[in-house]
């Protein structure tokens, strides 16, 4: 049996820590997790305010999902994707029920990244066109295609040659920090129209790719007209709309999928994470019937050994049934409203909070040096150059006090398991409240 110190040392020395400088990495040894908590090797419990990577939607150790994995492992742990399986059919039936109507054919992957790769290839094969328009403040995955479509600085290390050509960037929708320096509603959502301008002037555009609510890059919620306007721009220009719901799917925003907030039907929807409450890696690329039918008489040039892997599909069936049984989509709205109210109260107390925004159980708290000028404490360049970030100091302090939360450059992403109770929310917000003195002391 290894000691905990050995586990940490070998992990840090012989395995890569993602998206970071490797020096100085001292990962915490985690030995258990249950409900909204996980436990380290010393027995200390942490309240999980971000569902790990915004993915453990049902909380840790959901018994129905674990049972589904066990049973599938016993009955049929693997079969090649060329065969039909009960898990594949059952999941497809459920997806037809819970996905936005019109998304009818499915390609199963083992990550959100690969779901987006599939979407790009399908869009290119179907339209015969090449370019993908994505937006700057976005993340779509880590491989050559999906990193090319990632607007945030995780792409920079791959510039200019380590990524697929043909992806271009437009402005994100961000009403707190408008990239066009406009103000809503007088702007009449010029950021959406600008994407139309790009399509008209680029030629050869296959698809526009958006996170309907931008996730890691700040829980950016578009004004109500934005997604319908974008849908119309795509339709008018014969361009596909791809909704990346890797983070926003599965009840996170208070609907099964975020696009439902605006009744917009994408041509392709990608998702992952909460689809199995993250216990087993699964991604999904879902297409419209029209796109699906195209491949009846055209070669579908895509596949993986692990596509439609039965062990990945069975837990998704269980996870969807659990979301329904526990009515967690409704609960996300109720608990989300409670969390939002508590966070808004924090904003009145802390001069370092510039903005609090959220939808469902998906919230961001953005820090600023000065509420009027909105000057941030750190920049994207700080993040990539390894400069210590203020938000990381605060998350470290919160960990000391038993609360785990994800931070990105200048904000926190609060996205707890949908089963979180109001008492757990109170406890988490109190720990954030206490830690924010670190930022308040540095405001100008």
Ligand X SMILES: Cc1ncc(COP(=O)(O)O)c(C=O)c1O
Q: Using CB under 6 A, which of 141, 153, 218, 360 touches ligand X?
A: 141
Q: Which residue is nearest to ligand X (CB)?
A: 112
Min dist. Cβ of residue 2 to ligand X (A): 28
Min dist. Cβ of residue 63 to ligand X (A): 24
CA 401 remoteness from chain centre: 26
Among positions 72-131, residues that touch ligand X (CB under 6 A) are 111-113, 116
CB atoms within 10 A of CB 108: 26
Q: Pick between residue 131 and residue 252 the one whose CB is nearest to ligand X.
A: 252
Q: Pick between residue 216 and residue 352 the one whose CB is nearest to ligand X.
A: 216
Among positions 152-181, residues that touch ligand X (CB under 6 A) are none
Min dist. Cβ of residue 194 to ligand X (A): 21
Question: Does residue 315 belong to the site contacting ligand X (CB under 6 A)?
Answer: no
SS3 category, 205: strand
Stretch of 173-181, 242-250, 301-309, 419-427 lying at the interface with ligand X (CB under 6 A): 242-250
Stretch of 169-177, 218-226, 239-247, 356-364 lying at the interface with ligand X (CB under 6 A): 239-247
DSSP letter string over 153-186?
GGGGGGTTTSS-S-EEEEPPP-SSS-TT---TTT
Query: b/e string for 95-106 if b means 16 or more Cβ within 10 A?
Result: beeebbeebbbb
Both structure tokens of 183:
């103000």
Task: Give the pairing type, strands 30-34 and 205-210.
Answer: unpaired
Q: Pick between residue 150 and residue 395 the one whose CB is nearest to ligand X.
A: 150
Min dist. Cβ of residue 401 to ligand X (A): 26
Stretch of 22-30, 123-131, 139-147, 186-194 lying at the interface with ligand X (CB under 6 A): 139-147
Both structure tokens of 67:
């049972």
Q: Angle CA(174)–CA(180)–CA(186) in degrees, nearest 5? A: 80
Q: Using CB under 6 A, which of 48, 117, 172, 244 touches ligand X?
A: 244
Binding-residue total with ligand X (CB under 6 A): 15
Q: Angle CA(281)–CA(311)–CA(282) in degrees, nearest 5? A: 25
Q: Using CB under 6 A, which of 48, 117, 172, 211 touches ligand X?
A: 211
Q: Is the peptide bond prior to 337 cis by the omega test (within 30 degrees of 0)? A: no
CA distance 370 to 373: 6
Stretch of 70-78, 208-216, 307-315, 351-359 lying at the interface with ligand X (CB under 6 A): 208-216
Q: Is the dihedral of CA 56, 61, 63, 68 positive or negative?
A: positive
The H or E element that residue 37 is part of is strand 37-40
The H or E element that residue 323 is part of is helix 310-325
Stretch of 210-218, 259-267, 346-354, 375-383 lying at the interface with ligand X (CB under 6 A): 210-218
Q: Pick between residue 140 and residue 411 the one whose CB is nearest to ligand X.
A: 140
Both structure tokens of 404:
């785990």
Question: Does residue 217 belong to the site contacting ligand X (CB under 6 A)?
Answer: no
Min dist. Cβ of residue 11 to ligand X (A): 19
Q: Pick between residue 109 and residue 352 the one whose CB is nearest to ligand X.
A: 109
Min dist. Cβ of residue 236 to ligand X (A): 26
Question: Does residue 140 belong to the site contacting ligand X (CB under 6 A)?
Answer: yes
SS3 category, 223: coil
Q: For the chain, how many residues are written?
A: 444
State the burial class of residue 177 (Cβ atoms within 10 Å of its Cβ: 0-12, 13-18, 19+).
middle
CA 199 remoteness from chain centre: 26
The H or E element that residue 293 is part of is helix 289-294
Q: Pick between residue 141 and residue 218 the one whose CB is nearest to ligand X.
A: 141
Question: Does residue 215 belong to the site contacting ligand X (CB under 6 A)?
Answer: yes
Q: Pick between residue 270 and residue 395 the one whose CB is nearest to ligand X.
A: 270
Q: Pick between residue 139 and residue 362 the one whose CB is nearest to ligand X.
A: 139
Q: Which spans of this chain sit near ligand X (rule: CB under 6 A)?
A: 53, 111-113, 116, 139-141, 211, 215-216, 244, 246-247, 272
């Amino acid at each position: 049996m290894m000691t905990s110190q050995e586990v940490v040392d070998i992990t840090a020395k012989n395995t890569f820590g993602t998206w970071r400088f490797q020096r100085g990495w001292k990962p915490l040894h985690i030995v258990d997790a249950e409900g909204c908590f996980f436990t380290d090797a010393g027995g200390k419990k942490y309240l999980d305010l971000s569902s790990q990577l915004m993915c453990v939607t049902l909380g840790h150790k959901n018994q129905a999902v674990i049972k589904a994995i066990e049973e599938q492992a016993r009955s049929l742990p693997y079969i090649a994707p060329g065969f039909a399986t009960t898990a594949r059919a059952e999941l497809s039936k459920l997806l037809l029920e819970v996905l936005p109507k019109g998304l009818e054919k499915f390609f199963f992957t083992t990550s959100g990244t690969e779901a987006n790769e599939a979407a790009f290839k399908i869009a290119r094969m179907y339209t015969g066109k090449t370019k993908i328009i994505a937006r700057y403040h976005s993340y779509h995955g880590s491989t050559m295609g999906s990193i090319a479509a990632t607007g945030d600085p995780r792409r920079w290390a791959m510039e200019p040659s380590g990524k697929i050509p043909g992806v271009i960037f437009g402005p994100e929708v961000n009403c707190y920090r408008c990239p066009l320096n406009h103000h809503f509603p007088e702007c009449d959502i010029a950021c959406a129209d600008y994407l139309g301008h790009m399509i008209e002037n680029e030629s050869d555009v296959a698809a526009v790719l958006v996170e309907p609510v931008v996730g890691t890059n700040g829980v950016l919620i578009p004004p109500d007209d934005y997604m319908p306007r974008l849908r119309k721009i795509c339709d008018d220009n014969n361009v596909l709309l791809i909704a990346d719901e890797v983070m926003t799917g599965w009840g996170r925003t208070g609907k099964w999928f975020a696009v439902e907030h605006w009744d917009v039907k994408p041509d392709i929807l990608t998702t992952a994470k909460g689809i199995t409450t993250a216990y087993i890696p699964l991604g999904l690329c879902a297409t419209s019937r029209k796109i699906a039918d195209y491949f009846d008489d055209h070669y579908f040039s895509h596949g993986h050994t692990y596509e439609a892997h039965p062990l990945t599909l069975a837990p998704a069936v269980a996870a969807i049934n659990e979301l329904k049984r526990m009515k967690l989509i409704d609960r996300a709205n109720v608990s989300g409203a409670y969390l939002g109210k508590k966070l808004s109260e924090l904003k009145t107390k802390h001069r370092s909070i510039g903005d609090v925004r959220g939808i469902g159980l998906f919230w961001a708290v953005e820090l600023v040096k000065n509420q009027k000028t909105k000057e941030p404490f750190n920049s994207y360049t700080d993040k990539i150059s390894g400069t210590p970030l203020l938000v990381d100091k605060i998350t470290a302090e919160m960990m000391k006090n038993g609360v785990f939360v994800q931070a990105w450059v200048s904000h926190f992403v609060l996205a707890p398991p949908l089963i979180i109770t109001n008492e757990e929310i109170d406890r988490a917000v109190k720990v954030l409240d206490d830690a924010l003195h670190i930022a308040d002391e540095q405001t100008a």
